[in-house]
Amino acid sequence: MTGCQNDPAGDPFLISSGQVGKLRRSHTLAQLDSVYQADSLVRDTTRTQLGNAGRIEVYEKGGKHLLTLSPTGDSLGRIGNIRVHDKRFATDRDIHLGSTFGEIKEQYEIRKIITSLNNVLVLFKGTDVYVTISKESLPASLRYSQDPIEAVQIPDTAPVKYLMVGWD
């Protein structure tokens, strides 16, 4: 029995390869009601009425927003992207919504940094997890620039704005 308690697959807030809490990469949109039977799902009704699946928000029974799921857009009904809303979710290397860029650099090798208008997207090597950091957390000289930003330019204290998993 003690061996089962340490099983990472049973952790409802673990983000690891092919898993975000209860959700597995192999699950389809049609299976979500059974995966989250103890929780609440809110579907994008406008997109559903048009015949294609839209975003699906997952809430605990108490009302706490856990995840937002976006479909891949293919006919297989697969999950493409997951946005984590709850700080209890953490990667197997303990990166979560409360993490800083310095903690991320200690745990992951940076694969790529993409600069957008208001944010910086940081992709990690060897994982589907990525984070967004607000440009407001960067030095003033970089906030309004569209030039590529490198990891050395991001302060270690910059907090994670969004924690995402991309399965598409």
pLDDT in tens, 50-74: 445 688 999 998 899 999 999 987 7
> Which of 61, 84, 107 lies at the terminal end of a domain, its last residue?
84
11 and 72 fall within a common domain? yes
77 and 7 fall within a common domain? yes
71 and 98 fall within a common domain? no
- Residue 84: its pLDDT value, please? 98
79 and 97 fall within a common domain? no
Domain extent, residue 157, equals 93-166
Total tally of structural domains belonging to the chain: 2
- Residue 6: its pLDDT value, please? 44
Q: Which residues does the chain have with pLDDT short of 50?
A: 1-8, 47-51
27 and 76 fall within a common domain? yes
Q: How many CA atoms lie within 13 A of 72 on its CB side?
A: 15
By CB atoms closer than 10 A (0-12, 13-18, 19+), residue 162 is middle
